[in-house]
Amino acid sequence: MTTIRDIATIVGVAPSTISRYLNHSGYVSKETAEKIEKTIAELDYHPNQNAQNLSRGKTSRVGVVIPHTKHPYFIEIIKGLVEAAFDSHYQLQFLPSHYLKEKELAYLDSLRAKAFDALIFTSRNLDISQIAPYHKYGKIVLLEKTDSPFLSSISIDRQIGLSQLMMFLKKHNQPIKHPIFLFTRNEKSSATFTSTKVAYESIFGNTSSFDSLGNISSYEDGYKATKHFLGDKTIDAIITNSDDVAVGVIQYYQQQKKKIPLVVSQEAQISGKILNLPSIDNHSFQLGYQAFHLAIDSTVKHKVIKSKFLEKRY
């Protein structure tokens, strides 16, 4: 196996000169650089990436903890991350968690072991108090609102779009009295669930029934979930968590030849635009795009993107 020392001997320079050339860490004359480049090509030499990382103290890798890719919210975040990283010298490493705390802890331990320069949590199950101590090992970015002095964050102000949605429901030409909400996670630990419930109660009051179903992320989930409430004729609106889910709901109603109640979506996907479904645009692409830039920024920053309710899609 060819080593730096072998190249140095052939070129007639010190091994440290070869290291400077490979790591771009100091001056190397043009003539010497050309000789080194020619020798490297002739010997088909490839630097040991791990050794270079150790030498620089940097990996040029950003880890992205992502629970799943079943929901378009996460797909759009990934698109934004990839777009932002494309013109940089950083690589993205996607780390599936399925909301398992032991997985999330393992990725934090990898940050401590210098496997990445930074870690982005697109969503999490660990408490922030468990994540924050790891900031000393690398940059950590959360895709949620936090005022932590150690963790950067970028979040969607969902309350704006959700409040606009609730007012739309209340002022609808046939005022909505019994909506049902579909979530990926319909539990208090979910920021989306909590934000939606708060917005609903602020407009309809906390004595109104807040009915919801969870574990719904895809078209298939929406289609299957509709079976559970199809027979409830009091339901006059279905608030889904994506356009694809909304399409699944609508198709099931159509196949059963039942009257379709008001259907509202989120994420502003093409599938819902074709049907002109009211939707909330959470700007997920921008969320991912800006999260990457926060990850490679040495300072702690907190940013917020405003959501928007789209009553009409054309």
Structural domains in the chain, CATH included, are 4-56 (1.10.260.40), 63-155+284-307 (3.40.50.2300), 158-281 (3.40.50.2300)
| pTM for the structure as a whole | 0.82
For residue 53, pLDDT beyond 70: no
Q: What is the pLDDT of residues 64-119, one digit of tens each?
A: 999 999 999 999 999 999 999 999 999 999 999 999 999 999 999 999 999 999 99
Please say whether the beta carbons of 163 and 203 come within 8 A.
yes
Number of H helices, E strands in the chain: 13, 12
As beta bridge partners, residue 310 has 279
Q: Give residue 45's pLDDT.
A: 85
Supply the Cα-derived Rg of the chain in whole angstroms: 25
User: What value does the mean pLDDT take over residues 308-313?
Assistant: 95
E strand or H helix that includes residue 65 = strand 61-66
Q: What is the pLDDT of residue 209?
A: 84
Q: Which of 293, 247, 290 is nearest to 267 (CA)?
A: 247
Assess contact for 55 and 202: CB atoms under 8 A.
Answer: no
Residue indicated by tokens 């007639």: 12
Confidence of residue 231 (pLDDT cuts 50, 70, 90): confident
What mean pLDDT is reported for the chain?
93
Query: What pLDDT sits at residue 55?
Result: 58
Q: In the Cβ-directed half-sphere of 282, how many Cα atoms lie within 13 Å?
A: 26
Q: What share of the chain is helix, strand, coil (3-state, %, to 5)?
A: 45, 15, 40
Q: What distance in Å separates the CA atoms of residue 27 and residue 15, rounded to the nearest whole number?
A: 14
Cα dihedral 288, 186, 247, 164, rounded to 10, equals -70
Q: What is the pLDDT of residues 128-181, one digit of tens each?
A: 999 999 999 999 999 999 999 999 999 999 999 999 999 999 999 888 999 999
Tokens in use for 313?
């899609």
